[in-house]
Structure 1
Amino acid sequence: MATSSRLTEKIVNNKTLIYILSQRIQRRRLEDIKKATKKKQINLSDSFSSNVTHVVTESDNMQQVIRWLDLDSDADLHDVEVVTLTWLTDSLKAGKPVTVEAKHRVNQDSEESVDEEHSSSSNEPVVADWACQRVTLLRHHNHQFVDALEILQKYAEMRDVNQDYSRALAFRRASCVLKSLPFTVTSVSQIENIKDMGAHSLRVIQEILNSGVCQEVETIKKDDWFQKMKMFTSVFGVGPSTAKKWIERGWTSVRDAQQSDNISSDWRLIWGLAFHSDLMKPVLATEADVFTCIVREETDRLLPGAIVELTGGFRRKKQSGHDVDILITHPDEGKETGLLKQLLERLERRGLVLCGNLEKSTYTDDVLVRDFKLSMRGQLDHFEKWLGICKFHNSFQHGGGKDSTTAECVNRNASEDRMPCFHASLDDKDDYEPKAKLKKMAAENLTPKHIADSDRGWTARRVDLIICPFSQYWYALVGWTGSKHFNRDLRLYAQRVHNMKLTSHGLYSQAKGKIIAANSEKDVFDNLTIPYREPYERNC
């Protein structure tokens, strides 16, 4: 790109302003580069604007740079120099911005390089840099290695000190790579140059290849603290912090917690302990399908034309899971308002609601634009939702549910169940709160444990019902389908590659200052310029 008179004038007047594109530059290296640039008193900009004179990038392709800057064409660059890191390195050596030469400029004429895939030699697999770009199926070729890495990941998550977050994430990224490979790894040389295959993960894989096991993993599996942490965190409502406190109290079993009077007032924990045995059993896909059919049937009676979609692992073709997530919307935006309370009343009349908590929508427009941080557990959304426990009649396990005969059978069996639901009238806000319901039960000398120990023909199951406006539906569908790491990578990709913010509420372009709409699930992927992946291909 030829230097214009305006650019020349800026440089002569020492008004050089550099914007460094972060894509493809390791975070620590980027920080070092910025420190060195500021030390040489060369002006840096935190964002791209009309005042920028030089865009520095690791890419060798102009079309890719234009996409990263979220511009329509190279004409939008006007007289800005787009240069490689070599130019900045030469400038740092000189102590001032040097004249841009041909060797410094990014190639404008070459075909756009494939950003989504790479291979460093002909005998290495082609693996996309980002997990959200890859096809990752439930059945893969490297279970032995993945199982080992996931134990290391879990252990790091539970420790939750110092560098454990980054360690856990590194193990997860490596296992996601292994899940996507179309072959079984037989030599570390096959994967050692692939992004996200860190040195620690490679050592684990090499040890398994050599001896069949990794000693570090075997030691963790036998560790008493780790076994207790796994056991306690399996209780609904218990996180690592609570689990550690229980271990410090000397508790060695869930029964110790169930028999203790010193338990949190958190409704999830109270009901989670009472129904721990039920909630530990995997929810079958057939059960999830039947329950979704009932929710769809009741929703349609309340609001014809509403969309009811079973999401989570079941949408990714898992045959079992820990809970049932159902996303609900309506094409006529606004009609979904007030639906959730009415739906819960109908489900309660059918004897399907055990307990739960209704969360109001906390969405505001600034949710799409303000900064956010990703964690190992993903990112929370702001939809109206009900998080609770429902009663799945034993007949649900036999499948069906898509015909009226099955629904009528389920309804009849549920109505014969005489145990109270303890989901107080939704017209009374105070009674609806979990604490108020427990107080009401106490007045009748009843506890969750009394219900759990009763003779019943149903199993307690975790259920989330989510209401979203139709304008946000396709982004919500992607978000609630998962997997967690697929979502995390998708959102990080949006941020780092496109300077956009992606949530379950939408996609916001920082450069254009506007929301990017989607009219289908594929549109979400197209807006991010990555290949569309079917739900069953998102199991990373």
Structure 2
Amino acid sequence: MMVPLKRRKVVSSHTESCDGDEIKFPQVVLFLLERKMGASRRSFLSHLGRKKGFQVEDKFSESVTHIISENNSGSEVRTWLDSQVKGQTPPVHLLDISWFTESMKAGHPVQILDRHKLQEQQITEAEVKVFSVPSYACQRRTSLENHNTVLTDALSLLAENAELSNEEGRGVAFCRAAAVLKSLPEQVTSMKQLKGLPCLGDHSLRVIKDVLENGASSEVESTKQSERYKALKVLTGIFGVGSKTAHRWISEGILNLQQLRDSGQTLNRAQQAGLEHYDNLNQPVTKAEADTIGDIVQRAVVSVLPGARVTLIGGFRRGKQTGHDVDFLITHPEEGREEGLMPKVVSYLEAQGCLLYQKTTRNSYLEAQGGPGRPSSNMDRFERCFSIFKLHKEDKQGAKQGATETVNGDPASCLHTLSQKESCEASDEGSEEEKSSTHRRWRAVRVDLVVSPISQFAFALLGWTGSKLFERELRRWAGHEKSMSLSSHALFDSKQGCYLRATSEEEIFTHLGLEFIPPSERNA
């Protein structure tokens, strides 16, 4: 319970505010906390308070008697208050915005009721819950439920900016810090809770502290407003454009799509398709849309190779309901039958009018007797098709959950809800406006098709399920802790000098000496 407020001496100069408004209630000195309220709303409410005869301070000082906040808990405001005052914190009312609005309506300070007070949970330093997690993300279970979204979003944005700026080491450091916070079972409310946690470097801790105390990170907000960051986001959002190309264009004064179109730059086929379908490809793909595309891919695959299996992989396999693209892993239970499958599948899809763009690469993986060279490439060498699908909007009405997931090694049945022509072909009738991204009857979607021999399927399934950081940490664990080399093709044991075979993801985890973590808990 808070100590009673003492009456403060009021000097005569406080009878008039800095705006010239008369101060009617000199014993009440208000301070509106900007945290979560926002600068413009705080400015408006401060002006309103002064017009009503209240003394409202722009800066916190020991003369303040009432701190008004919006959408903050008592502990959050108390943490902020402790950071503002050296020594003992002065007695002050911590009040919800409701007390302020009721006082404005009444024209005088209303009685402070329990519902106006911010609830504070008094926790001693000894009672602060300190979290503990393993060092590697592949040792942790990370579901889609994130109790620290504000913190992880801040760190993830800085990680993205570092990667776009070709500072991979810094980007990975921020990613690892964000992954630790994602795995925590509760919300972080105090820096003391983070004591001893792995992967939290000084820079990440400064960002976290800034967010906890102020509701946002000044570095993150500055990055968001950076013209370079905004340009990199836009340009790398073009399919087929990496950070190096984007940096080159920026150095030539190209900062947005229109400037790129007007620049006369020579674009390759992928970049041309990416620019043409930019809006669609930067619109999230839903699980229903992924399942519908899976039906189309399944029909194409089994039509050219009966018995082949198609599995939806990537974020959707981890339980996500939206993604930026759709990935499928294709195999056949008989080793070697999958060879030459991709060109046939692509031809089938092109004949149906399903593909707006496609580029196919051959399988170039070879097992070396002495194991993979070091450092091993993180890129796999499967037969693969990078494509842009034309998804008819009417298809989405027939989408069903889990249509393409392989369960216990059995391929899901193909759903013949629409004819092949209905699923792929867009109407050629109508005006140009009707064919725009807003009015046309189809949308473009990024789709990757990957073909794996059945002997490598478990490794490919693990590698292509993600998340990206989870896979990176698996490879790091294999190399640093087990003297092994892991890829999406195989696992090589350097000590034994041989490849370790596996027919399931569980076997791979066992080889690595790790507890099996299901896909839904690999969201690092």
TM value normalised by structure 1: 0.67
Instruction: Spell out the pairing of 1:184-203 with structure 2 (5 A cutoff).
Output: 184-203=187-206
Change (3 A) 1:350 1:215: same
Give the Å deviation of 1:418: 4.7
Is 1:500 equivalent to 2:484 in the alignment?
Answer: yes
- Which deviations, in whole Å up to 9, do the C-alpha atoms of 1:57-86 show, x marking residues without a partner? xxxxxxxxxxxxxxxxxxxxxxxxxxxxxx
Other-structure match for 1:271: 273
Q: 2:514 aligns with which of 519, 524, 530?
A: 530
Change (3 A) 1:451 1:274: farther
> Is 2:279–2:437's contact at 8 Å kept on the other side of the alignment?
no
Deviation larger for 487-496 or 220-229: 220-229
> Is 1:294–1:407's contact at 8 Å kept on the other side of the alignment?
no
> Is 2:241–2:271's contact at 8 Å kept on the other side of the alignment?
yes
Instruction: Spell out the pairing of 1:282-321 with structure 2 (5 A cutoff).
Output: 282-321=284-323
Other-structure match for 1:224: 227
Change (3 A) 1:250 1:474: same
- Which deviations, in whole Å up to 9, do the C-alpha atoms of 1:376-428 show, x marking residues without a partner? xxx21010111111111112333525587753256325346459xxxxxxxxx
Other-structure match for 1:489: 473
Change (3 A) 1:142 1:288: same
In the alignment, the residues of structure 2 paired with residue 154 and residue 123 of structure 1 have an alpha-carbon distance, to the nearest angstrom, of 30
In the alignment, the residues of structure 2 paired with residue 499 and residue 122 of structure 1 have an alpha-carbon distance, to the nearest angstrom, of 39
Change (3 A) 1:154 1:405: closer
Give the Å deviation of 1:198: 1.1
SS in 2 for 1:381: coil
Other-structure match for 1:157: 163
Give the Å deviation of 1:517: 0.7
> Is 1:257–1:263's contact at 8 Å kept on the other side of the alignment?
no
* Amino acid corresponding to residue 325 of structure 1 in structure 2: D
Instruction: Spell out the pairing of 1:113-132 with structure 2 (5 A cutoff).
Output: 123-132=129-138
Give the Å deviation of 1:279: 0.8
Deviation larger for 298-307 or 356-365: 298-307
Gaps of 5+ in 1: 1-120, 420-449
- Which deviations, in whole Å up to 9, do the C-alpha atoms of 1:76-121 show, x marking residues without a partner? xxxxxxxxxxxxxxxxxxxxxxxxxxxxxxxxxxxxxxxxxxxxx9
> Is 2:312–2:328's contact at 8 Å kept on the other side of the alignment?
yes
Other-structure match for 1:412: 422
Instruction: Spell out the pairing of 1:337-356 with structure 2 (5 A cutoff).
Output: 337-356=339-358
* Amino acid corresponding to residue 382 of structure 1 in structure 2: R
Change (3 A) 1:514 1:151: same
Superposition RMSD on alpha carbons, in Å?
A: 2.4
Other-structure match for 2:365: 363
Point out the structure with the larger helix share: 1
Aligned length: 383
* Amino acid corresponding to residue 241 of structure 2 in structure 1: V
Percent of residue pairs identical: 37
Other-structure match for 1:111: none
In the alignment, the residues of structure 2 paired with residue 455 and residue 209 of structure 1 have an alpha-carbon distance, to the nearest angstrom, of 44
In the alignment, the residues of structure 1 paired with residue 259 and residue 445 of structure 2 have an alpha-carbon distance, to the nearest angstrom, of 23
Instruction: Spell out the pairing of 1:361-510 with structure 2 (5 A cutoff).
Output: 361-366=363-368, 368-372=371-375, 379-400=378-399, 402=403, 407-409=417-419, 411-415=421-425, 417-418=427-428, 456-510=440-494
In the alignment, the residues of structure 1 paired with residue 285 and residue 451 of structure 2 have an alpha-carbon distance, to the nearest angstrom, of 22
> Is 2:392–2:426's contact at 8 Å kept on the other side of the alignment?
no
> Is 2:235–2:255's contact at 8 Å kept on the other side of the alignment?
no
SS in 2 for 1:466: strand
Change (3 A) 1:261 1:475: same
- Which deviations, in whole Å up to 9, do the C-alpha atoms of 1:284-328 show, x marking residues without a partner? 111111111221122223222211101011111111111111100
* Amino acid corresponding to residue 311 of structure 2 in structure 1: E
Give the Å deviation of 1:506: 0.8
Other-structure match for 2:170: 167
Give the Å deviation of 1:500: 0.3
In the alignment, the residues of structure 2 paired with residue 484 and residue 189 of structure 1 have an alpha-carbon distance, to the nearest angstrom, of 29
In the alignment, the residues of structure 2 paired with residue 296 and residue 146 of structure 1 have an alpha-carbon distance, to the nearest angstrom, of 37
Which has the bigger relative contact order, CA under 8 A and spacing at least 6?
A: 1
Gaps of 5+ in 2: 1-126, 404-412
